[in-house]
Amino acid sequence: GNSVTQMEGPVTLSEEAFLTINCTYTATGYPSLFWYVQYPGEGLQLLLKATKADDKGSNKGFEATYRKETTSFHLEKGSVQVSDSAVYFCALVDSGGYQKVTFGTGTKLQVIP
Amino acid sequence: DGGITQSPKYLFRKEGQNVTLSCEQNLNHDAMYWYRQDPGQGLRLIYYSQIVNDFQKGDIAEGYSVSREKKESFPLTVTSAQKNPTAFYLCASSSRDTDNEQFFGPGTRLTVL
């Protein structure tokens, strides 16, 4: 079956530091890949997505590149802010069949001033 | 504005009572989902529905029931058979037209006393 593996958190960074959150996946076919963000007490919001190999998703300074050869979709940001503190989820949807989503376990990011 | 709504935001019930959580979307999405999230944990799929009048069990369906009589609505009933119902419940919807990106509601926090 499909699976998504994220690096364990929590991750604590100082403001303006470089962020990487690793995500690797196992899937049949050619999945679409997503990063979602969840702020405390809220639902998840889409941060970025990529639907085919070598695509780069980007939004609000965050980027992730769909790497089929390494089955990875690592999230990066060059300079984090306190407001980026949240939980980040990597996810995939398989290209075939029904629209069931496989989520990673989430990585909590805390940015300190 | 199109979106997905859940009500209420907070819900308190006595042990042994059934309770129904509301989820409505006006995005014209075919697929809808219910997830459970426990503190510091990832998302676990309870039920999902790809079309009206059809739904499938997810990974933790025991003690829950759903209906999908209208495209816009996917209510979740937490029954007295659910052994540990206190959790944060998230509803989502998706469409193949938007790469199966999940749109989430704000969540309902259920506390069983």
Which of A23, A44, A103 to mutate to probe the B interface, most B CBs <10 Å? A44
Q: Would you tell me which residues 71-100 of chain B have a C-beta closer than 8 angstroms to some C-beta of chain A?
A: 90, 92, 94, 96, 99-100
Give the count of beta carbons closer than 10 Å to the beta carbon of residue B113: 8
The DSSP secondary-structure symbol of A67 reads B
pLDDT, tens digit, for every residue of B52-107?
999 999 999 999 999 999 999 999 999 988 889 999 999 999 998 888 899 999 99
Which SS3 state, helix, strand or coil, does residue A82 take? helix
Decide: B61 and B47 in contact? Cβ < 8 Å.
yes
Q: Judge whether A11 and A108 are in contact, CB under 8 Å.
A: yes
Residues A99, B99: C-beta atoms closer than 8 Å? no
Query: In the predicted model, what is the mean pLDDT of residues A33-51?
Result: 95
Helix (H, G, I), strand (E, B) or coil at A94: coil
Asked if the model's pLDDT at residue B1 lies above 70, the reply is no
**What per-residue confidence (pLDDT) applies to A98?**
65
